[in-house]
Amino acid sequence: MQRRDLLRLLATGTALQLAPAKWMLLAREARALVATRESLRTLDPHQEATVKAMADMIIPRTDTPGASDVGVSEFIDLILTEWYGIPERTHFLNGLAATDSRARSLFGKDFVDCSPEQRSEMLIELGAKMLQDAALAAVQSARSDAGLPEANFYSDFRRLTLTAYYTSEAGATQELHFEVIPEQYQGCNITPASQEVPKQP
């Protein structure tokens, strides 16, 4: 697969719709791409910390790794740098800044400094706005005279987070239970004729 096609699948979330075999191929290519990066090129340290904090609220660490454990911030930085155009990149970064601004107005501190309960309140609010924007977009798409609505930052963030997580080894194998190579071969239980037990007369 060409690098640009791979990035398009990842950025748009189309990868999430692939069949397991194609998904595993895509996941390996995606992770190889992320592994070639030595440092972040778009996100600054504070933005990266915000991405990690938000992503870990969406996919927290339980008995399986959380979002930041599998390199979600590095994945998102790759998409922002190599696939997003300037308007999309600016919109995403402005969304991070707006999240901090809202956190400061509610709690007097940046998102990363908020308690888990405060972060949860913030994401519930972002989720409600995402649903409102989706409903508005559906109405506008039915009207020929309406322009395209502005993309919702949180919808974009969730899509990238989920794609990043489920193209990781932990996401694909521990959460989706895909097996790259089955643990063992389980053949059919047919006893060879030479080992059949003779029937009693």
Residue 183: inside a domain = no
**What pLDDT digit, counting tens, does each position of 83-112 carry?**
899 999 999 999 999 999 999 999 999 999
- Model confidence, pTM: 0.76
Residue 180: inside a domain = no
Tell me which residue range forms the domain holding 95: 40-165
200's torsion region: left (phi>0), alpha (psi -120 to 50) or beta?
A: beta
Residue 196: inside a domain = no
Residue 178: inside a domain = no
Residue 71: inside a domain = yes
For residues 53-60, give the mean pLDDT: 96
Residue 90: inside a domain = yes
Q: Is the pLDDT of residue 184 over 70?
A: no
Residue 100: inside a domain = yes
- Chain centroid, CA 119 distance in Å: 19
For residues 51-65, give the mean pLDDT: 94
**The token pair that represents 111 in the structure block:** 């998102």
DSSP states of 146-175: PPPPPPPHHHHHHHHHHHHHHTSHHIIIII
How many structural domains are present in the chain?
Answer: 1
Distance in angstroms (rounded) separating the CA atoms of residues 143 and 166: 36
Task: Please name the amino acid found at residue 94.
Answer: N
**The token pair that represents 158 in the structure block:** 């969730």
Distance in angstroms (rounded) separating the CA atoms of residues 129 and 138: 14
Residue 26: inside a domain = no
Centre a 10 Å sphere on the Cβ of residue 139 and count the other Cβ atoms it contains. Answer: 10
**The token pair that represents 179 in the structure block:** 């097996």
Name the nearest CA neighbour of 16 among 174, 162, 197: 162
